[in-house]
Chains A and B, each alone.
With several copies, the nearest count.
Chain A
Amino acid sequence: EPPMRPERPRSTPPVRKLARDLGIDLVGLTGTGEGGLITRADVEAAASVTQAPVPEPT
């Protein structure tokens, strides 16, 4: 019986895939879903932070 793997951030495969496509590392995220599940909204929120427009250098 392999042990449960709490070290792997809990999410669903399509959300993990979305995170990968957006370049978001799930390890840093706090899940807001049931039982700490990382949701699509969590990933999208993280992505909007990382992709916040960078001011043009003047």
Chain B
Amino acid sequence: MSEQNFDIVILGGGSGGYAAALRAVQLGFTVGLVEKDRLGGTCLHRGCIPTKALLHAAEIADNSRESSKFGVRSVFEGIDIAAVTTYRERIVASKYKGLQGLVKAQGITVIEGEGRLVAPNAVQVGDDRIGGKNVILATGSYSRSLPGLEIGGRVITSEQALELDFVPGKVAVLGGGVIGVEFASVWKSFGADVTIIEALPHLVPNEEESVSKQLERAFRKRGIAYKLGVRFQGVTQHEDGVLLTLENGETVEAELLLVAVGRGPVTQGLGYEEAGITIDRGFVVTDERLATNVPGVYAVGDIVPGLQLAHRGFAQGIFVAEEIAGLNPIIVEDVNIPRVTYCEPEVASIGYTQARAAEKYGADQVSSYEYNLAGNGKSHILETSGSIKVVRVNDGPIVGVHMIGARVGELIGEAQLAVNWEAYPEDIAPFIHAHPTQNEALGEAFLKLAGKPLHVS
């Protein structure tokens, strides 16, 4: 049994934990970072990075299939899943190596092993007690299931889905949120028959309704089936497949069922409650500055209620390090965090939907404009359809931007500056967007809301 002491102990080395660690050492603190598995956490090993590699392989497959449309003669012969795996693992391995090197170079002490909070200022790892003047909880999340739906065999979560060594012939996806639609998109591009089951009335139900509807239309065109507003009832597994029953009596047969119904916080059995930390439905409750009710203990990332996104965890990690350093960092609210769904077509948004803006500011205080990408030259060249909707407060700032279409994810950078700086469309109207780009479409939407539409990009 040994004891080590640091200025800050961080429990969990995912996006939230390692970002906090990196910023903290930069600010002159000593840091002990406890990780039981691999630095980088969900995002690097089982989330953002490997899924986006699959989605890019999927794009390449689609391009190849549709190449004749663009005058390219190319014969699509299928997916070499072993090669996809090599590609995916190569990306992850290289980022993992980079992260390990960085963490080491910065002088962060990584403590390998499963940690448990044993006091407001100490984490126990095996026989060792790791003391910290401040403690940051960053234990992340796991794939949830539904009551009575057991994961195993042909009923899988995103972890197993990522590592499949074959392309299923027919697959059912339970949940039409971000993770569900991304896997559905990949599998369809890889050649599978896909059916999504979503209990809410829309795919990506947190997005602007018109975006959800357009995604549904695009998926229908791609031949991705979905059943909306219908709840899962049960599933049976047999030798070569699964049989799902839905509450409306319908059944779905498939080789595999992907359960993508959300992610739960990893907070049980880690000593949090014993240390007096307030937990609500498994999540760690914090104030808006990410402090728990126990002085000196902070929480970041997926265990904090709100958006479960890597860049949010990352930013929260930086925030808490700066907070502990007394730098009084600026809070960025969840609503001002960009959200990108990387299926084909992509979905990207920031700020309020029209409905939420109407609730907040009053329906008659809000206007919006939805620019159809049919009018955008570059989108036309990409043969994509979709739209960009901008929501503003009348005589007031831009409070929401909602986009759908191939590659729109990257447009969120401009949208987020506009929303985060509370710009008025009039502030952007005099600026000139590059032609022919997709971000011109954003420019057109701003122009329209500033009262000067031209519609000719």
Residues of A within 8 A of B (CB): 1-2, 4-5, 8, 12-18, 21, 40
Q: Contact check, A5 vs B426: say whether CB atoms are below 8 A apart.
A: yes
B422 at interface, CB cutoff 8 A: yes
Q: State whether A16 touches B422 (Cβ < 8 A).
A: yes
A46 to B415, CA, bound (A): 29
B27–A1 CB distance below 8 A: yes
Task: Please give, as numbers and ranges, the residues of chain A lying within 8 Å of B417 by CB-CB distance.
Answer: 13
B426 touches A12 (CB 8 A): no
> A5 CA to B424 CA in the complex, in Å?
11
**Residue of A2, A15, A40 touching B451 (CB-CB under 8 A):** A2
Name which residue of chain A comes closest to B452, CB basis. Answer: A1
Number of interface residues, chain B, beta carbon within 8 A: 15
Complex alpha-carbon distance, A4 and B395, angstroms? 10
Docked-complex contact A21 and B330, CB < 8 angstroms: yes
Using A1-B451, A2-B451, A5-B395 as known contacts, say yes or no to A14 and B424 having CB atoms under 8 A apart. yes
Chain A interface, >50% SS class: helix
> A12 contacts B327, CB within 8 Å?
no
User: What are 17 contact pairs spanning A and B, CB under 8 A?
Assistant: A1-B26, A1-B451, A5-B395, A12-B421, A12-B422, A12-B423, A12-B427, A13-B417, A13-B418, A13-B424, A14-B421, A14-B424, A16-B421, A17-B422, A17-B427, A21-B330, A40-B422
A33 nearest in chain B by CB position: B422
Residue of A with least CB distance to B449:
A2
| Residue contact B423 to A13, C-beta cutoff 8 Å | yes
Q: Is the CB of B27 within 8 A of A14?
A: no
Please tell me if the beta carbons of A13 and B421 are within 8 angstroms of each other in the complex. yes
User: Across the A-B interface, how many residue pairs have beta carbons closer than 8 Å?
Assistant: 36
Measured between beta carbons, the chain A residues less than 8 angstroms from B423 are: 12-14
Q: Which residues of chain A are within 8 angstroms of B26 by Cβ–Cβ distance? A: 1
Interface residues of B (CB under 8 A from A): 26-27, 327, 330, 395, 417-418, 420-424, 426-427, 451
Interchain CB contact under 8 A, A13 and B427: yes
Chain A residues with CB under 8 A of B27: 1
Which 6 A-B pairs rank lowest in CB-CB distance, beginning with the nearest?
A13-B421, A13-B423, A12-B421, A14-B427, A14-B423, A2-B451
A33, B423: Cα distance in complex, Å? 15
Cα distance, A5 to B427, chains bound together (Å): 12
Most buried by A among B395, B426, B427: B427
Q: Would B418 and A4 count as touching, CB distance under 8 A?
A: no
Which single member of B327, B395, B421, B451 contacts A17 (CB below 8 Å)?
Answer: B421
Q: Which residues of B contact A2 (CB under 8 A)?
A: 451
User: Which residue of the partner chain A has the closest CB to B330?
Assistant: A21
Residues of A within 8 A of B395 (CB): 5, 8
Which residues of chain B are within 8 angstroms of A17 by Cβ–Cβ distance?
A: 420-422, 427
A18 vs B422: C-alpha distance in the bound complex, in angstroms?
11
Bound-complex Cα distance A51 to B395 (A): 21
* Minimal Cβ-Cβ distance residue in B for A3: B451
Among B26, B395, B420, B424, the one with the most A-chain Cβ atoms within 10 Å of its Cβ is B424
Chain B neighbourhood of A15, CB < 8 A: 421
List the B side residues contacting A40 at CB < 8 Å: 422, 424
| Nearest-Cβ distance from residue A33 to partner chain B, whole angstroms | 10
Distance between B414 CB and nearest chain A CB, rounded to angstroms: 12
Identify which of A1, A4, A13 gathers the most chain B CB atoms within 10 Å of its CB.
A13
- Chain B residues whose CB sits within 8 angstroms of the CB of A4 once the complex forms: 327
Q: Which residues of A contact B330 (CB under 8 A)?
A: 21
**CB of B197 to closest CB in A, whole Å:** 43
Minimum CB–CB distance for B327 against chain A, Å = 7
Which of A4, A14, A40 is packed against the most chain B CB atoms within 10 Å? Answer: A14
> Within the assembled complex, what's the spacing in Å between the Cα atoms of A5 and B423?
14
Q: Is the CB of A13 within 8 A of B422?
A: yes
CA A16 to CA B397, docked complex, whole Å: 11
Query: What 18 additional pairs, Cβ within 8 angstroms, besides A4-B327, A8-B395?
Result: A1-B26, A5-B426, A12-B422, A12-B427, A13-B417, A13-B418, A13-B422, A13-B424, A13-B427, A14-B421, A14-B422, A14-B424, A17-B420, A17-B421, A17-B427, A21-B330, A40-B422, A40-B424
